[in-house]
């Protein structure tokens, strides 16, 4: 066992006379005699919170004490971290279902797919609208699908374009047909409908060319 040495105070010894009164002379004598046998410390004040308790520990005991203190600190820190995490509100940027529950892995993948599709559709139709210019009748129109998170995502779209001929003006019709074809094929990934519109615009230009030839011949004859 490691020794435990406590620095304290020796008892104050005195004598009481038969009349119950303290004999100062006897007290001084007894104290003097006891002081020679058991030296009193310089201070006779009662123990206070500032008194020192000295522990003499062996190296192995000190090692165990340090390890126990470190483990207690680690457990206290872990408990504080768990409490802090439990008190934090749920992340608002995390996808959740209509009822507020966390999405499953399959549902999260579906949301990611819809987000990607939504971005592609909007970019596609915005390109059509910009290329069509004044021929576009309003902005893009979209078809939506609801995702597992309750949000609507664009999965299809269209841009309405004026494809009518310019009556009595084949040249203007040809220019218009060329603009329509350009708008249909301006995207990096034309859809089947885009290709069909481009083909119709090419045919429209061909008819306009045919219409313009008799007029050119008539004008040449008049000259």
Determine the pLDDT at residue 25.
Answer: 40
Residue 6 makes CB contacts below 8 A (sequence gap 6+) with 53, 54
What is the rounded distance in angstroms from the CA atom of residue 1 to the CA atom of residue 60? 12
- Assess whether 148 and 215 both reside in one domain: yes
Cβ atoms of residues 88 and 146 within 8 Å: no
Among residues 143, 135, 127, which one has the least CA distance to residue 186? 127
Query: Is the pLDDT higher at 56 or at 139?
Result: 139
- Assess whether 217 and 150 both reside in one domain: yes
Check whether 90 has a pLDDT greater than 90.
no
What is the average pLDDT across 16-35?
A: 41
DSSP letters for 59-70: HHHHHHHHHHHH
Please report whether residue 47 resides in a domain: no
Please report whether residue 82 resides in a domain: no
Helix (H/G/I), strand (E/B), else coil: 3 = coil
- Assess whether 1 and 62 both reside in one domain: yes
DSSP alpha helix (H) spans, the chain: 24-37, 59-87, 105-132, 170-184, 192-222
Query: Is the pLDDT higher at 62 or at 123?
Result: 123
Query: Is the pLDDT higher at 66 or at 220?
Result: 66
Per DSSP, 147 falls in state -
What is the rounded distance in angstroms from the CA atom of residue 219 to the CA atom of residue 9? 135
- Assess whether 29 and 129 both reside in one domain: no
- Assess whether 71 and 132 both reside in one domain: no
Indicate the pLDDT class of residue 193, thresholds 50, 70 and 90.
Answer: very high
- Assess whether 70 and 119 both reside in one domain: no
- Assess whether 127 and 212 both reside in one domain: yes
What is the average pLDDT across 177-195?
A: 96
Q: Give the residue numbers spanning the domain of 71.
A: 1-42+57-76
- Residue 189 CB: number of other CB atoms within 10 A? 7
What is the rounded distance in angstroms from the CA atom of residue 114 to the CA atom of residue 124? 15
- The number of domains in the chain is 2
Please report whether residue 199 resides in a domain: yes
C-alpha distances in angstroms, 93 versus 63, 113, 127, 163?
A: 48, 17, 30, 44
DSSP letters for 157-177: EE--B-----TT-HHHHHHHH
Residue 191 makes CB contacts below 8 A (sequence gap 6+) with 124
Average pLDDT, the chain: 76
Cβ atoms of residues 136 and 159 within 8 Å: yes
Check whether 17 has a pLDDT greater than 60.
no
């Amino acid at each position: 066992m490691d020794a435990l040495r406590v620095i304290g105070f020796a008892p104050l010894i005195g004598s009481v006379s038969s009349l119950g009164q303290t004999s100062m002379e006897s007290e001084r004598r007894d104290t003097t005699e006891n002081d020679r046998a058991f030296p009193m410390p310089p201070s006779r004040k009662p123990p206070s919170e500032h008194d020192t308790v000295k522990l003499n520990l062996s190296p192995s005991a000190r090692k165990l004490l340090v390890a126990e203190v470190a483990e207690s600190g680690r457990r206290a820190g872990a408990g504080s971290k768990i409490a802090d995490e439990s008190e934090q509100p749920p992340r608002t940027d995390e996808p959740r279902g209509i009822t507020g529950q966390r999405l499953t892995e399959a549902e999260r993948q579906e949301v990611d797919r819809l987000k990607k599709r939504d971005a592609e559709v909007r970019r596609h139709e915005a390109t059509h609208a910009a290329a069509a210019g004044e021929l576009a009748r309003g902005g893009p129109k979209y078809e939506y699908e609801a995702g597992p998170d309750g949000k609507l995502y664009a999965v299809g779209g269209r841009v309405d374009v004026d494809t009518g001929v310019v009556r009595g003006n084949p040249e203007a019709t040809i220019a218009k047909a060329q603009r329509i074809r350009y708008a249909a094929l301006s995207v990096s990934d034309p859809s089947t409908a885009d290709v069909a519109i481009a083909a119709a615009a090419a045919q429209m230009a061909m008819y306009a060319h045919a219409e313009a030839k008799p007029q050119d011949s008539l004008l040449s004859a008049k000259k």
